[in-house]
Structure 1
Amino acid sequence: MAVTIREVASAAGVSVSTVSRAFTAPDQVQPKTRQRILDAAARLGYSPNPAARSLRGGGTGTLGLIVPDIANPFFPPIVKAMQARARRLGYTVLVADSDEREADELETIAAVSKRVDGLVLWASTLTEDRLRELAAQMPLVVVNRHVPGIAEVRISLSAGIAQAVEHLRAYGHRRCAFVNASRTELSRGKSIHESFEALDMSLVELGPYEPRFETGVHAASLVAAHEATAVIAHNDLVALGVLHQMANLGVSVPGQVSVIGIDDTLLASVSTPSLTTIRIDPEEIATRAGDLLIDVIGGRTDTADSPFVEIGSRLILRASTGPAPTH
């Protein structure tokens, strides 16, 4: 038999109405009391009825998450973590894939927006004007995009990239390549170029391409042409493509070329060789994005000030980096 709201109220030592407010209007409940209610609900296995809440308040009880490529191993842990966080707060999550195409993203938004209370858009390909129009129509949070007036989860790669470049310099690398796989996210390339310039190291940029495994395969041949002894790829997926093609070309990693990815996906730790990468915590991203969206839905942010939260990064050392080859 399903757990009732009365059982949760009894377990938490509060009234039924307080339990209801904890899920439907959390800002009206004291944080300690609300946490006690959430703990009791989790312990008993209770979750609010989204359909009933929709009838009462006009909401759907659902959060939308649109990612550019669900096949990228970076995203499944984020989806899972966001679902867990949303469930704890009385929501479900509807996930869709834009396939990194503006037309597909627009079509997906049109379909999903009718069924959710708000949207998280990851690395959106839409113009700023279109995003502002969308934000005027419904609660919106963007990830890896900065648009004044729209709530944002900002992933800062500065620390991780600086650590990566220092690591390569310490190993004697002086000429490196960056495989750029994004036409919309400019901050990543900017941080990489600034870090190399700060240490007076040479950097050649390849791309921009699409952030796919095949991009790394294509770029691997160009790395040798530019005589680079190290590669920083846009993400782990691209870096794994580089590793794969280097092996096909008979190029030793890290003996002849060192390779660094970005994301720290599961595949990074099990590749051959294991991939040195810049870690971004998927659980932290999912939690902060979900919480920020719920705040926007509840009107607890001032979008005029472009509310944002920032997620940091750090270098994870593995076997794909080593000393620069001596000639």
Structure 2
Amino acid sequence: MAVPKRVTISDVADAAGVATSTVSRALSTPGRVNATTREHILEVAARLGYVPNPSARAMSSGRTHTYALLVPDITNPYFAGAIKGAERAAAAAGKTLVLGDTQESAAKEGELIARLGPAVDGIVVAAARGTDDDLAAAGARNRLALINRTLPAVPSVPSVVADYDAGTRQIVDHLVSLGHESLVFLGGPHESWSGARRWAGLQAASSAAGVRARRLGPYLPTLQGGPAAADAALAAGAHAVVCHNDMLAIGVLRRLAARGVDVPGEVSVVGFDDMFGADFCQPALTTLAERTEDAGACAIELLLRPPSGALAAVVVPTQLRVRESTGPRRGSRR
């Protein structure tokens, strides 16, 4: 089957009976073309199905009108909100968004930034796994914005972060209201910036409330990490566990069910993210909701602004979604 021929600017010029340069000006700098002529050119271009060549536009302007969003795990429903928000903001600005999966790897993240950098006008990195030095070097070469990570040493790299301080206080207050006097945090990857912030917030809120807090892990932030994390929590005698994210929490719920442990009667379980499906599992998961769609949109909007050289850190509110996986402690498993 023959490949359809792309309509070119020369085709539009021929059909409109004008010079190619006139078509170019009508499309890029309309103020330099007679209004009647411009309307005629636009009508011909629409009739022929002409679409400007992005490569040609990039060569003439030095901009690609394309942005990249990198996420650690494209299969994790948590990132669906960030992707949707980023796409919405890019489309509203007439830009194209490309997506990359870093596979929870700092090395892969660095490779994608290096490969995509020359081809896009800016890169958003969600839950970055690279070191501060890696990200600082990347920010020196590319327009960069971060979601759930800050880079104070490089003021030109803006960020969008969830309000974990207020969110972790909500979690601890909720567990205390149910009579829990201690909690176990089932941590994710050591290199996770958001994981460190969540644990720091839980420690501070627990100390203020007179609650004992202990961290176990690291565990894979996936369903597959759940069995080992749940077994460790049971061995530690935990009656309230807070998981690094919802994927791990759902894996924990599955393991507890397999072992005949009543949730929430014997163990209360809390997650982070309020990802799609958190309210579908059995029991429905209590979790800290983050406005991931707003975060994705905001990150793209930060890149669309002219560089200011001043640190822009946008804090997005969080809210605890109380569901059936948490409840009053009732007796002992032993």
TM-score interval for Structure 1 and Structure 2 normalised by the shorter chain: 0.7 to 0.9
The aligned amino acid for 2:321 is I
Q: Distance in 2 between matches of 1:151 and 1:84?
A: 19
Contact 1:153 1:289 survives alignment (8 Å):
yes
Give 2:288's match in structure 1, choosing from 278, 282, 290: 278
* C-alpha distance in 2 between matches for 1:126 and 1:317: 33
Match of 2:13 in 1: none
Question: Paired residue for 1:291, among 293, 301, 308?
Answer: 301
Residues 14-71 of structure 1 show CA distances to partners (whole Å, capped at 9, x for unaligned) of xxx9x969xxxxxxxxxxxxxxxxxxxxxxxxx9864453233111111111111111
1:313 to 315, 318, 322: 318
Instruction: Report what 2:179 is aligned to.
Output: 172
Unaligned runs of 5+ in 2: 1-6, 8-24, 30-50
CA apart distance, 1:107: 1.7
* Alignment counterpart, residue 190 of structure 2, candidates 180, 183, 188: 183
1:79 alignment counterpart = 83
Contact 2:148/2:161 (CA < 8 Å) preserved in 1?
yes
Provide TM-score, normalisation by structure 1. Answer: 0.81
Aligned length: 284
Residues 1:222 and 2:229 are matched in the alignment: no
1:155 aligns with 2:155: no
Asked whether the 8 Å contact 1:154–1:311 carries over to 2, the reply is: yes
Which residue type is aligned with residue 158 of structure 2? Answer: A
Q: How far did residue 175 of structure 1 move?
A: 2.1
Distance of 2:268 and 2:204 partners within structure 1 = 20
Partners of 1:310 and 1:71 lie apart in 2 by: 25
- Contact 1:157–1:313 under 8 Å retained in 2: yes
CA distance in 2, matches of 1:146, 1:198: 26
Q: Deviations over 1:222-263 (max 9, x none)?
A: 111111111111110010011010000000111111111110
Structure 1 residues 112, 266: closer, same or farther in 2, change over 3 A?
same
Q: Distance in 2 between matches of 1:213 and 1:193?
A: 25
Deviates more, 1:248-257 or 1:116-125: 116-125
- TM-aligned CA deviation for residue 326 of structure 1: 2.4
Q: Quick one: structure 1 residues 203 and 48, their matched pair in 2 at CA, closer, same or farther if it must change by over 3 Å?
A: farther
1:122 correspondence with 2:132: no
CA RMSD of aligned residues (A): 2.3
Change in CA separation of 1:275 and 1:20 when aligned onto 2, cut-off 3 Å:
farther
Identity between Structure 1 and Structure 2 (%): 35
Structure 2 residue identity aligned to 1:176: L
Segments of 4+ moved more than 6 angstroms: none
Check the 8 A contact 2:102/2:109 in 1, yes or no: yes
Hey, what's the Cα distance between the residues in 2 that align with 1:191 and 1:283?
23
Native 8 Å contact 2:83 2:293 kept in 1: no
Q: In structure 2, what is the equivalent of residue 325 of structure 1? A: 330
Distance in 2 (alpha carbons) for counterparts of 1:192 and 1:216: 20
Q: Does 1:111 align with 2:121?
A: no
Q: Is the alpha carbon distance of 1:49 and 1:287 closer, same or farther for their aligned partners in structure 2, counting shifts above 3 Å? A: farther
CA distance in 2 between partners of 1:319 and 1:249 (Å): 19
Question: Which amino acid is the alignment partner of residue 271 of structure 2?
Answer: G
Amino acid at match of 1:152: S
The residue correspondences of 1:196-275 to structure 2 (distance < 5 A) are 196-275=206-285
Is contact 2:239-2:267 (8 Å) kept? yes
The match for 1:7 is none
Q: What amino acid sits opposite 1:322 in the alignment?
A: G
Runs (5+) with no aligned partner, structure 1: 3-16, 22-46
User: Please, what TM-score do these two structures have when normalized by structure 2?
Assistant: 0.80
Compare CA radii of gyration and give the structure with the larger one: 2
Distance in 1 separating the partners of 2:330 and 2:57: 63
